[in-house]
Amino acid sequence: MNKNSENISGWKKFMKSMTKAHDLGTEEDIMLDHDYDGIKELDNVLPPWWLYGFYITIAISAFYIFQVFYNSENYSQTKEYETAVAEGKAEVEAYKEANPQLFDDSNIVALTDAADIAKGKELFTSKTCTACHLADLGGSIGPNLTDNKWILGGDVKSLFNTISKGGRPGKGMIAWESTISRDERIQLASYIISMQGTEPATPKPAEGDIIWPEE
């Protein structure tokens, strides 16, 4: 023990009691009487702070095991999860009831504002719609979107549904509802409607039996 230990501060005394650290220069006092190829070993003890933490962990584990196995009626992770899921679903349904305009597709109307049409045009390009329908919507792999013949319908609700759910099975038109927001899908459908009746450079022959606008 250092002869000046009586003069150290209270904080240092506390730290020494929690670590059981030996002062430098006192290694000879705790040196063990064996060595390994010249390497000697000090007989240090585990720090009390570590031991206290270890004991607390054991106590918490015992309490947790008791709760799980002997008090499962009042504490259950399964029940807690099921309750949280039920509460989440109730909140979603309450939000849908309070905001029907955000979820009722029957109320969708084509947008005509220039900003919405510009956003729809940007989406048409950025989401690679041009790969199948061309930049002027004249059609390539996909059908011509500027004429009045439609396979799945050319009104805003039909277009919104096709964009959201995808086209006919096996035809390559994927569903975008998980990638593009509802408002963006309406903007995209509105842009397509705004382009109907235009004259693309090389229009693909009309496809489909649905006439829109209705004659």
**In the prediction, which pLDDT does 118 show?**
97
Say if residue 149 is in the same domain as residue 200.
Answer: yes
Tokens of 32: 């063990």
Q: Is the peptide bond before 213 cis (omega within 30 degrees of 0)?
A: yes
Asked if residue 192 lies in contact with residue 124, where contact means CB atoms within 8 angstroms, the answer is yes
Say if residue 56 is in the same domain as residue 111.
Answer: no
Q: What is the pLDDT along the chain (215 residues), one digit of tens a residue?
A: 455 555 668 888 888 788 877 777 777 777 888 888 888 887 788 888 999 999 999 999 998 888 777 776 666 778 889 999 999 999 999 998 888 777 778 788 999 999 999 999 999 999 989 999 999 999 999 999 999 999 999 999 999 999 999 988 888 899 999 999 999 999 999 999 999 999 999 999 999 999 998 76
Say if residue 117 is in the same domain as residue 205.
Answer: yes
Tell whether 96 is covered by a domain. Answer: no
**How many independent structural domains does the chain possess?**
2
In terms of DSSP H, where are the helices of the chain? 10-19, 48-70, 77-98, 114-126, 130-133, 156-165, 182-194
Say if residue 109 is in the same domain as residue 201.
Answer: yes
Tell whether 110 is covered by a domain. Answer: yes
Say if residue 117 is in the same domain as residue 182.
Answer: yes
Tell whether 167 is covered by a domain. Answer: yes
Say if residue 112 is in the same domain as residue 193.
Answer: yes
Whole-number Å distance between alpha carbons of 215 and 213: 6
**In the prediction, which pLDDT does 5 show?**
52
CA atoms within 13 Å, Cβ hemisphere of 14? 3
Give the phi and the psi of residue 133 in degrees, each rounded to 5.
Answer: -115, -5
**In the prediction, which pLDDT does 7 show?**
64
**In the prediction, which pLDDT does 33 show?**
80
Tell whether 95 is covered by a domain. Answer: no
**In the prediction, which pLDDT does 6 show?**
56
**In the prediction, which pLDDT does 90 show?**
96
**In the prediction, which pLDDT does 102 show?**
73
Say if residue 120 is in the same domain as residue 202.
Answer: yes
**In the prediction, which pLDDT does 97 show?**
86
0.95 surpassed by pTM: no
Tell whether 194 is covered by a domain. Answer: yes
Tell whether 2 is covered by a domain. Answer: no
Domain region containing 194: 105-211
Which has the closest alpha carbon to 193: 141, 166, 165, 153?
153
Tell whether 184 is covered by a domain. Answer: yes
Tokens of 109: 């109307």
CATH number of the structural domain spanning residue 187: 1.10.760.10
